[in-house]
A and B are shown apart, each in its own frame.
Chain A
Amino acid sequence: MSDWTRDRRRDASTEREYRTSGHARWSHCRKRGIDGSLRANRETDGETEKRGHTDRSHPDNRQDSFTTPESAGPMSRCGRQADWGSQVEDDEMRRDVHRDMQRYRRRILGAEVTQRERKTSSGSSGSCDSKEGENIETDETVLLRRQKQINYGKNTLAYDRYIKEVPKHMRQPGIHPKTPNKFRKYSRRSWDQQIKLWKVKLHAWDPPAEEGPDKVLDNIDELDLDDVMDIELDFPTLSESQNAPASLSTHSLSLEAEDCSGTPVKVQKTETTTEPDMA
């Protein structure tokens, strides 16, 4: 099975866990309905089914909103999509990823040059040579998979509301969710965790969340995940990346060690505890 279908399976089982009788838990937060068109209001699933799609019946009783936002319906299990719509979208994503990579490389090279200049002028001999440039994730399969995961997170009403409410320059590390950097080398597990935690943080902006960001963060504090949240999501920006990469890698290594037993359970706890708030 390709990585991509494995991901979808995982998303699928996560969705099933949170579904109450016949109503997908966060369907009202989805920006798009099953047919890909925007959902303008917070209508119930019943209404949505009346509009638009009527003929499509899922063989296994899934809710319409179960389907991932971008697709128009259940996707075939085979790796390469046969329909032209999907082919063109995949093609477009591939090109976007490559273009992003070129831009990222340019940014890194620019930052590296600046750092070198600083070092020589200040006379310091930093132990950390910023090897960002050599440490970029370039595997296309990985990048595309990561981009898809990021797209799922960005294709939500929560994300829309978040970026409108908090412009980039006002974002505080640790408090405001930050999109994981797909070009950094991370283990598969580490990356998937980052995505999960990022999405959890984004849920604070779910409509019609009256409580806002604070309530959710309090819950997370109770679960003692402070360290995890700070380290996992607090990527230094490129301009401050002198020492951070070294410390970042050791922290994530120690987390990796704990991973095998602890983290999945912790993450599950996070999501179930925040559930009532989402009602």
Chain B
Amino acid sequence: VFRLLPPRMDNSAEDYRIQSFDLDTQVLLKTALKDPSSVNLEKVSNIIMDQSLKDQVFSKEAGRICYTIVQAEAKQSNGNVFRRNLLNRLQQEFKDREETRSRSLQEWVCYVTFICNIFDYLKVNNMPMVALVHPVFDCLMRLAQPDALMNEEEVDCLVLQLHRIGEQLEKVNSQRMDELFFLLRDGFLLQEGLTSMARLLLLEILEFRAGGWLLSSTAHKYYYSEISD
């Protein structure tokens, strides 16, 4: 039985999950949040990017700290050095994603988690960044390929992202979402060698989307509670 934790909404430093950094870096990050023009923002974005590729816990919420720095920089000096550097790093890693995946599943999964988190948090005039829509879909489609479905961590990553940003993604491009779900249905039905956990995850996400990105209370009970015999 698994549980998905809802994101926390308070603003304490812990929420940025920066405890995994060494103390000097923590200070640097905190300074970037308060006084962005006093730090080397290109360096900061690289630090965040690099850590996101290594630390799954961090990659799940790194979008929030990025958002705050972007806002702070815009307000303080009307600049977007941080955002620009971050996006271009993301793009670089995106180009090399297949190589990353074959080298390290963990890093690949972290990357997808990070880019989806950025998509979630970094909005432009409250709209998702158009430039990221296709890349995000490309990543999710990759996770829905037969070879990826064999790995529980990839399936887990896929359903996590769909829970968090599926609805938004569908709004900006429903056709690609449909394509993705054709793959997921096929995977669930036809893929041999899937673990029972993988099948459970896929079934849940199929129901989730079918319910308008909501799980009915009975379905919720089935997937998330202990059912006594």
Interface residues of A in 83-108 (CB under 8 A from B): 83-89, 91-92, 95-96, 99
The residue from B79, B83, B91, B131 contacting A37, defined by CB atoms under 8 A apart:
B79
A41-80 near B? 1/0 per residue, CB < 8 Å: 0000000000010000000000000000000100000000
Flag whether A36 is at the interface (Cβ < 8 A): yes
With A35-B81, A92-B125 known as contacts, the answer to whether A85 contacts B87 (CB < 8 A) is yes
Does the CB pair B79–A36 fall under 8 Å?
yes
Flag whether A253 is at the interface (Cβ < 8 A): no
How far, in Å, is B93 (CB) from chain A's closest CB? 11
In the bound complex, residues from chain A placing their C-beta under 8 Å from that of B37 are: 37-38, 40
Does the CB pair B79–A85 fall under 8 Å?
no
Flag whether A182 is at the interface (Cβ < 8 A): no
Q: Is the interface of A mostly helix, strand, loop or mixed?
A: helix
B104-127 near A? 1/0 per residue, CB < 8 Å: 000000000000000000001101
Flag whether B132 is at the interface (Cβ < 8 A): yes
Flag whether B90 is at the interface (Cβ < 8 A): yes
The residue from B40, B81, B130, B135 contacting A91, defined by CB atoms under 8 A apart:
B130
Does the CB pair B79–A95 fall under 8 Å?
no
Does the CB pair A87–B131 fall under 8 Å?
yes
Tell me the complex Cα distance, A36–B135, Å: 25
Closest 8 CB pairs of A and B: A85-B84, A87-B131, A84-B87, A85-B87, A84-B91, A84-B131, A36-B81, A95-B125
> Which residues of A come within 8 Å of B, CB atoms?
32, 35-38, 40, 52, 72, 83-89, 91-92, 95-96, 99
> Which residues of B come within 8 Å of A, CB atoms?
37, 40-42, 77, 79-81, 83-85, 87-88, 90-91, 124-125, 127, 129-132, 135
